[in-house]
Amino acid sequence: MSNGNGTFDYTLEEQATLLAQFTKSGTLINERKRPFDTVSRSLQAIIADDSVIQITPKVIADAGDGKVLHVTGDYDSAALALDAGEYNDRYGFSENAKQIAKVPMIVQPVDRKVRISPPLGRYVKTSEMFGLYPKMTDPMTLFTLGAKFPKEQLDGPIFVVWKDHAGQFWCAILGGFGSRRRVNVRRVSPDGKWDDGYRVLLCE
């Protein structure tokens, strides 16, 4: 909010977010990982106090390792999809069929092309995920990915979040420790934060 004298009141969290974004931008510029026109246009809009009409998140060409994965599976339940994943460790509501049956999710056959995002790069609140990643996929697609492409999660944790009819946030995470593959399904606070190493499963 403007103070009326050309300055704005930022909350401490907003100021920390902006500084983290500038730091990340500087790193990307130094490493020459963004095109000149894109960076210059964005910076000039800030300097000139121009309005930024819309920024649409997208899956960039070098996202993850660049692979588009075709995920297919015809599981009648989340429990069957998790069993097919043959995980070494299962946590939270993923521990057994009785627990996973309590989780509100749509169970349906999966036939979808997906891509794993690059790491988040900063701490992100659960409540921010839908705005940042509008193409985030559903838990059944994540579980089917785990069954069909088991090694992908060993490169770094992959997750999705969703909301039930009561507005409660849920998450499903595929991760690893060494060669051990793990899955976790649990409720999560909208203010809960995901660290910079997490990756999101996106519809292609």
State whether 29 and 120 are in the same domain.
no
Q: How many CB atoms lie within 10 A of CB 51?
A: 6
Domain count of the chain?
Answer: 2
In single-letter form, the type of residue at position 36 comes to: F
Residues 46 and 79 occupy one common structural domain = no
Q: DSSP string spanning 135-162? A: TB--HHHHHHHHHH-GGGGGGS-EEEEE
Task: Evaluate whether residue 110 is within a structural domain.
Answer: yes
As a whole number of angstroms, the distance between CA 159 and CA 198 comes to 7
Residue 40, domain member (yes or no): yes
Dihedral (CA of 22, 120, 125, 37) sign: positive
* pLDDT of amino acid 26: 74
Q: Clarify whether residues 10 and 43 are in a common domain.
A: yes
> Measured between alpha carbons, how far is 109 from 91 in angstroms, rounded to an integer?
24
Residues 107 and 161 reside in one and the same domain: yes
Which two three-digit tokens encode residue 147?
């069954």
177 within a domain of the structure (yes/no): yes
Provide the token pair at 172: 């499903």
Q: Are residues 84 and 178 in the same domain?
A: yes
**Is 169 within the bounds of a domain?**
yes
pTM metric for this prediction: 0.69
- Give the model's pLDDT for residue 11: 67
61 in a domain, yes or no? no
Structure tokens at 124: 């992100």
Tell me the mean pLDDT per 10 residues along the chain, length 204.
Answer: 62 60 71 64 64 42 64 97 98 97 96 96 96 97 98 97 96 96 98 96 95
- pLDDT recorded at residue 58: 39
Do 133 and 41 share a structural domain? Answer: no
Q: Under DSSP, is residue 110 helix (H, G, I), strand (E, B) or coil?
A: strand
**What is the pLDDT at residue 20?**
60
The answer to whether residue 182 is domain-embedded is: yes
Let me know if residue 63 belongs to a domain: no
- pLDDT for 64: 44
Q: Is residue 62 part of a domain?
A: no
pLDDT at position 67: 86
Q: Are residues 50 and 100 in the same domain?
A: no
Q: State which residues form the domain around 127.
A: 69-203
| Residue-level pLDDT at 30 | 76
Residues 76, 23: one domain? no
